[in-house]
Amino acid sequence: MTPTQPRTVPAGDDDLVRRAKAGDSAAFSELVQRYNRRIFRLTKHITQNQEDAEDVLQEVFMKAYTHLSTFEGNSKFYTWLVRIAVNESLMKLRKRKSGKQVSLDEPVSTGDEEIMREIAVWESTPEQKYSQTELRGILDEAVQSLEPIYRTVFLLRDVDELSTEEAAESLGLTVPAVKSRLLRARLQLREKLTRVFKRKGDDLFAFL
């Protein structure tokens, strides 16, 4: 009988970071492979441009490698990467001559407020009118239409499933500010989607 080979347990981020700080380039390469796709997805959503997203992706990991010694481990490594990615993506947007300058420091009211939305009437269910691929495309388009300050928060919380606290730390915002921007993002998405589906009372996108 052939002896069972022991299962290899993937190294944790903390171990990889420790080794990378000690000069192990293979450890850092593993971190890159682990988060490459997720960071690229985020940068592409923010910049809305394939080439810009690729440029930003390279800058993110270059800066992470250069400043790795400053990462103290008080947060998750991915959270630290996200903050770099957001900052680099917004800098890329600011450099576009025709682009609108945005800032994560833009003040947002976090007090109680009523936001009235006119919900259109939906005449048939989205499932009846669209395939899953079409639905995904419609949702992606709606997310892309959000302003970067709202789109980024929505992506981190509802797509990457970071906690509110982790999203706040990644973006350099307070927890109430993240909650406020997430609420606005969800309301804007709901309004955009109801214009497409037009069925009263059908809440397909219940997470919005």
Give the domain CATH number at 62.
1.10.1740.10
Same domain? 35 vs 76? yes
CA–CA distance from 5 to each of 1, 2, 8, 151 (Å)? 12, 9, 9, 46
- Whether 207 is in a domain gets the answer no
pLDDT in tens, 100-139: 444 444 443 334 343 333 333 334 444 444 566 666 777 7
Model pLDDT, residue 141? 81
Q: Specify the pTM.
A: 0.61
- Whether 27 is in a domain gets the answer yes
Same domain? 90 vs 130? no
Same domain? 90 vs 131? no
pLDDT in tens, 18-66: 999 998 989 999 999 999 999 998 898 888 888 999 999 999 999 999 9
Model pLDDT, residue 13? 86
Same domain? 34 vs 87? yes
Same domain? 19 vs 86? yes
For residue 25, give its domain range: 13-95
Region 144-172: mean pLDDT is 86
- Whether 110 is in a domain gets the answer no
Mean pLDDT of the chain: 75
Same domain? 46 vs 89? yes
Domain count, the chain: 2
* pLDDT at position 140 over 60: yes
Region 72-90: mean pLDDT is 89
- Whether 204 is in a domain gets the answer no
Task: Report the CATH number that the domain containing residue 161 is assigned in CATH.
Answer: 1.10.10.10
- Residue where one domain finishes, among candidates 73, 95, 117: 95
- Which of 63-72, 102-111, 143-152, 188-197 shows the lowest mean pLDDT across its residues? 102-111
Model pLDDT, residue 124? 43
CA–CA distance from 199 to each of 58, 105, 125, 164, 192 (Å)? 44, 37, 7, 31, 13
- Whether 164 is in a domain gets the answer yes
